Structure 1
Amino acid sequence: MNESYEGVEWWLIRHGLTGWNLQRKYQGHSDEELLPGEASGLTPLRSKLAGQSFAGVYCSDLKRCRQTLQLIRPDLTAQAVYDPRLKEMNFGAWEGKTYEMLEHNPLYRAWIDNPKLYTPPEGESWELFQNRVADFQRELVQKSKELAVSGNANPSILLVVTHGGVISTLNMLMNPDADFWDSKVSPGEIMKLKLS
């Protein structure tokens, strides 16, 4: 099989704004809803995606991502694959808390300085999170190779609606020069990865 996936694009969308985003609280696996007026906040993204066809649609199974997909492209919700591997990192006991609430906690300080060595209480280790996202990424790479082999003259686009940490991880896995911390995508924004 051809090992190339040239001409395939991944459109990675971070979910829209939640109340916890505004309060700067860790969300992780907490199933927060979008803000009530977020439909208007997602209008620019909805306009960018209008009429665009996708070779595959993937979405985190958390409510804020499902609601985002429903608001930006309701016609795609039935074909979407809702995948738990696309959830944000599980911050355990720190979910619902802000930096200011945790800044004097020695374990939190150690985790901030080196998240690869420390794990939030009742949360997910850096290694488990990265491995979970890498497992999804391998499947998406395989799908991309299959699309490239199909010989479609138009770029084949895979849409992924997920979370900031997942987007940073996918970008880092696909771009060896990328750093996790340099891949910030704000709520309701898109990062496009052109594969070559």
Structure 2
Amino acid sequence: MTPWTLHLLRHGAPALPGRLMGRTDCGSTPEGIAACVARAAGLDIEHIVSSDLQRARHAAAAIADAGRIWPAIDPRWRELDFGAWDGLAPDEVESGAMLRFWEDPDANPPPGGERWSELVARVSAAIAALEPSPTLVVTHGGAIRAALHLLCGFGQHKLWAFDLPYAALVSLRVWPGEKPSAQISGLVT
């Protein structure tokens, strides 16, 4: 099996910083979009895929305008849905509930929100739909962590050890198959 390259780019800084933004659909700042364009410059890609949320979609479109392939939109690359907490600052959520969520987001999802396992299943389906050729996905921190869990086998708690600031780029060498696997070949923050 021939490996292929998958680049996962987190969207740029959002216009509403410091919030739990799963399904909240706000755009990125102009500086955030420019940071994504700069980060993607020079990548050898054949496909661009983006979450359908503005903060990812606008960055993908700007990358395409810089001479790339037009992005396909796939809502499976969205951030975890924070339910009733969506759009709130973390300190606006009861601290015990937030702590329980971070300790075990599958057993303690946000009220009306998504479980970690639901995000993982969604991202797994999105990965399976990708062409096995050099691809850039413009997405969100949670979706990147879910992809690392699926492709590299990192446990959910180990994933918080990765600092994924806005416009961070994780590059993977992916081996296709019934259960694809990957090796991290680059991390630029």
TM-score under structure 1 normalisation?
0.78
Asked if the contact 1:45/1:72 (under 8 Å) is kept, the reply is no
Identity of aligned residues (%): 26
Distance 1:109 1:182 in 2: 16
SS of match in other structure, 2:122: helix
Asked if the contact 1:46/1:73 (under 8 Å) is kept, the reply is no
CA apart distance, 1:195: 2.4
Of 10, 35, 60, the match for 1:41: 35
List per-residue Cα deviations over 1:153-175 (Å, max 9, x = no partner).
Answer: xxx41111111111111112111
SS of match in other structure, 1:38: helix
Bigger relative CO (Cα 8 Å, ≥ 6 apart): 1
Query: What are the ranges of 5 or more consecutive residues in structure 1 without an aligned counterpart?
Result: 145-155
Distance 2:88 2:82 in 1: 10
Task: Tell me if 1:164 matches 2:141.
Answer: yes
Task: Tell me if 1:188 matches 2:167.
Answer: yes
Moved over 6 A (4+): none
Say what the alpha-carbon RMSD is for the aligned residues: 2.1
TM-score under structure 2 normalisation?
0.80
Structure 2 CA distance for partners of 1:177 and 1:18, relative to 1, 3 Å: closer
Structure 2 CA distance for partners of 1:5 and 1:181, relative to 1, 3 Å: farther
Task: Tell me if 1:12 matches 2:8.
Answer: yes
- Match for 1:139: what amino acid? A
- Which entry has the higher C-alpha Rg, 1 or 2? 1
CA apart distance, 1:102: 1.4
Distance 2:128 2:154 in 1: 19
Asked if the contact 2:47/2:69 (under 8 Å) is kept, the reply is no
CA apart distance, 1:73: 3.0
Asked if the contact 1:69/1:76 (under 8 Å) is kept, the reply is no
Query: What are the ranges of 5 or more consecutive residues in structure 2 without an aligned counterpart?
Result: 176-189
Distance 2:33 2:121 in 1: 33
Distance 1:97 1:77 in 2: 35
